[in-house]
Amino acid sequence: MAAVEQVVQSEPGTGRVKMRGDNVRVYYGEKQALFDVNLDIYEREVTALIGPSGCGKSTFLRCLNRMNDVVEICRVEGSITMDGQDIYAKDVDPVHLRAQVGMVFQKPNPFPKSIYDNVAYGPRIHGLVSSKSQLDDLVEESLRKASIWEEVKDRLDAPGTGLSGGQQQRLCIARAIAVKPEVILMDEPCSALDPIATAKIEDLIHELRENYTIVIVTHSMQQAARVSQKTAFFHLGNLVEVGDTEKIFTNPEDERTQGYITGRFG
Amino acid sequence: MTDTAMTTEAIKQEERQSKIRANLKARHAAEKRFRSYGLVAIGAALLALSTLFFTIISNGASALFQTEVRMTIQLDSTLDPETMRAGDYQILIKKSLRDMFPDVARRDRKDLYAVVSNGAWYELLNHVQANPDLVGQTIEIWLPAADDVDMLMKGYIDRELPESDRRVNDQQIAWIDALVANDAIEKKFNTRLFTSGDSREPELAGFAGAAVGSFYTLLVTLALSFPIGVAAAVYLEEFAPKNKWTDLIEVNINNLAAVPSIVFGLLGLALFLNWFGLPRSAPLVGGMVLTLMTLPTIIIASRASLKSVPPSIREAALGMGASRLQVVGHHVLPLALPGMLTGTIIGMAQALGETAPLLMIGMVAFIADIPGGPTDPATVMPVQIYLWADSPERAFVERTSAAIMALLAFLIAMNLSAVLLRKRFERRW
């Protein structure tokens, strides 16, 4: 498997745990969506969350930046820490947390504003820049890091919604990294894209890993194998197995994992 | 063996196809029927609408013109426009009429004076006061004819009727014919209709007072209902928890939209006039009452418009670390605003056409002056229409239709702007 070779070649992260989920249980009203999930996310590594539809992988992802707070009937128990700090503690402001834990969504969702304003939005609301030239530099830097600068540098005033799907998604990544988060969450970032756009995003994920901790939910096992160092397999709200991507894909311990990655169900 | 099997299979297949074909015919016929029902429905609606427009326009078009009489008035140099009273001007007009028809017997003079409008002196006064240097000259001026003369000139009074059944007697007809022969009587464009306030004399009455009253009333309504409505909608849609209480509020807002408007008028009478002691007949109070009536419409439209903003935009902004208020202020509200404005304009159009609640707060009074502000006594367009439609003079019939035309023009303009606004700012995802 070529994909696995790639994973073997890539250098490991710092080996430090960036975020840790401890007995995470999530309820939507009466229904329990996650059962006692214990998962460590390592710094400067890509952690892929895989599993069949409705297995709770997106739910877990959205717990990491408290996006579930907006869902009224949603209740999170257990603890999730970032750098040892409980992110669900009373004194943690979810607005501040989301500046540190950025998110890229399944469907590219640029604001119906100009490309420039899309990227500048985060720095502006968080008051990160003090001058126009500083903001210009930050926008260019973010667009470059998201490998879309060359395509849009001449039309920064054009609406972000006018770009192609793949470009829109890279714009959303640029928008997320403009606030210099520590962790980037990606919820099936390529599911609405064609293979070429997908390949570009995957290359981008490789580059971003040097500076950011990335958690990616994906339906595509090949994608998980290509981009991640750690893989966590979810099934029916349980974390079935987690480990080095190479091991999960070549020698899984649980037969459900094996069944899923070999395509017997899912 | 296989051959027979195949043929039976082929026959079965043929049967199936013919069944589908037969069914297909019925299905197409059903569709055709459905389309024709639709066409009939649209045709009926268009017919009703065109009948309405035809009646109103054919009744009201003649109100755009008013019969006027050319008068020669001698303004003696001894006159002082500052001290002259109404009576003095009436004497001048009467003298001019007597000069035009010197042979009229003393007892018929009253009929002669009745050819020119009762209020014609007022226009003469205004003219002289605006041009004081005219004093000492003999001037020629077109003054409005009386409404009965106007009706005769427009052919609404049948000359063949016996004199006793006619509002214009034989002698008056003779004078009018003489004036026509001299080109001294003519139908001219009726500017008074657009520039004057109400009057007991149809020939002098205009809807400017009512239009200005409507303008102030709508201004107050807009200033109150738009911010309150949008704030309520944003809170209910974006911030309020979804529980029994918000459900109850939602149900009640929907109920409020269906409450008969007269009830709001009674509420306004009890609350704003009797309790708060605000002025009677004032556009300020009218606007407040109409606000009560328009609020549910605006809240419902605004909420629908907020609901139509895709959740992905909210998620994007939340994911960037925007606060709830920033999500709403930076993203949701700008996207929902065109829909909110459309709802508001429709609410305003409703308010513009509303009569019943305003009757309750005294906006039905006869008010001849054009209001100068929202606290001046005023009436509004639909009430003016109601008042004119209630007046016995034949000449008010065409003025009623003319006022309806003006009101419809405003309504069409408002609804058109709502459509254009929606087209202009509509976004698609």
Map out the domains of chain A as residue ranges. 2-261
Of B316, B321, B326, the CB nearest to A109: B316
Tokens, residue B55: 């009646």
Q: Is A160 a residue whose pLDDT tops 70?
A: yes
Using 50, 70 and 90 to split pLDDT, how confident is the model at A11? low
What is the structure's pLDDT at A4? Answer: 43
Map out the domains of chain B as residue ranges. 66-188, 208-425
Average pLDDT over residues A34-40: 92
B230–chain A nearest CA distance, Å: 22
Other C-beta atoms lying within 10 Å of the C-beta of residue B426: 10
Dihedrals phi, psi of B116, to nearest 5 degrees: -95, 150
| Structural contact between residues A178 and A102, judged by C-beta atoms closer than 8 angstroms | no
Give pLDDT tens digits for B340-396.
998 999 899 999 999 999 999 988 888 888 898 898 999 999 999 999 999 888 889
Helices (H), B116-207: 120-130, 147-153, 170-181, 192-195
B155 at A interface, C-beta within 8 A: no
Q: Which residues of A touch B335 (CB under 8 A)?
A: 112
A8–chain B nearest CA distance, Å: 32
What is the structure's pLDDT at B182? Answer: 86
- Three-state secondary structure call for residue B347: helix
What is the structure's pLDDT at B11? Answer: 87
ipTM: 0.85
Of B310, B318, B335, the CB nearest to A67: B318
What is the structure's pLDDT at B129? Answer: 83
Chain B residue with the nearest C-alpha to that of A117: B330
Average pLDDT over residues B397-402: 92
Superfamily of domain B208-425: MetI-like (1.10.3720.10)
* Residue B30 buriedness (CB in 10 A; 0-12 / 13-18 / 19+): exposed
Q: Is A7 a residue whose pLDDT tops 80?
A: no
CB contact under 8 A, B429 and A105: no
What is the structure's pLDDT at B169? Answer: 85
Average pLDDT over residues A244-258: 90
Dihedrals phi, psi of A86, to nearest 5 degrees: -70, 120
Of A109, A172, A179, the CB nearest to B321: A179
Give pLDDT tens digits for B76-93.
777 776 676 767 788 888
Residues in chain A whose beta carbon is closer than 8 A to a beta carbon of chain B? Answer: 65, 67, 70, 72, 95-99, 102-105, 107, 109-112, 121-122, 125-126, 161, 172, 175-176, 179
Chain A residue with the nearest C-alpha to that of B331: A111
B359 at A interface, C-beta within 8 A: no
**Interface probe, candidates A69, A73, A104, A125, chain B, greatest B C-beta count within 10 A:** A125
Using 50, 70 and 90 to split pLDDT, how confident is the model at A3? very low
Chain B residue with the nearest C-alpha to that of A123: B320
What is the structure's pLDDT at B33? Answer: 96
What is the structure's pLDDT at B92? Answer: 87
B331 at A interface, C-beta within 8 A: yes
Using 50, 70 and 90 to split pLDDT, how confident is the model at A9? very low
Q: Which residues of B touch A122 (CB under 8 A)?
A: 320-321
What is the structure's pLDDT at A8? Answer: 41
- Residue listed under structure tokens 């704030």: B231
Of A72, A96, A102, the CB nearest to B319: A102
For the domain made up of A2-261, give the CATH fold: Rossmann fold (3.40.50)
Q: Is B166 a residue whose pLDDT tops 90?
A: no
Share of chain B above pLDDT 90, in %: 45
Residue/partner pairs of A71-76 with CB below 8 Å, 24 or more apart: A71/A28, A72/B241, A72/B242, A73/A28, A73/A29, A74/A26, A74/A27, A74/A28, A75/A26, A75/A27, A76/A24, A76/A25, A76/A26
Q: Is B428 a residue whose pLDDT tops 60?
A: no
Q: Which residues of B touch A110 (CB under 8 A)?
A: 316
Average pLDDT over residues B407-422: 88
Using 50, 70 and 90 to split pLDDT, how confident is the model at B107? confident
Average pLDDT over residues A64-80: 89
* Residue B51 buriedness (CB in 10 A; 0-12 / 13-18 / 19+): exposed
Average of per-residue pLDDT values in chain A = 88
Give pLDDT tens digits for A101-117.
999 999 999 999 999 99
- Residue listed under structure tokens 């670390």: B321
What is the structure's pLDDT at B392? Answer: 86
Q: Is B408 a residue whose pLDDT tops 80?
A: yes
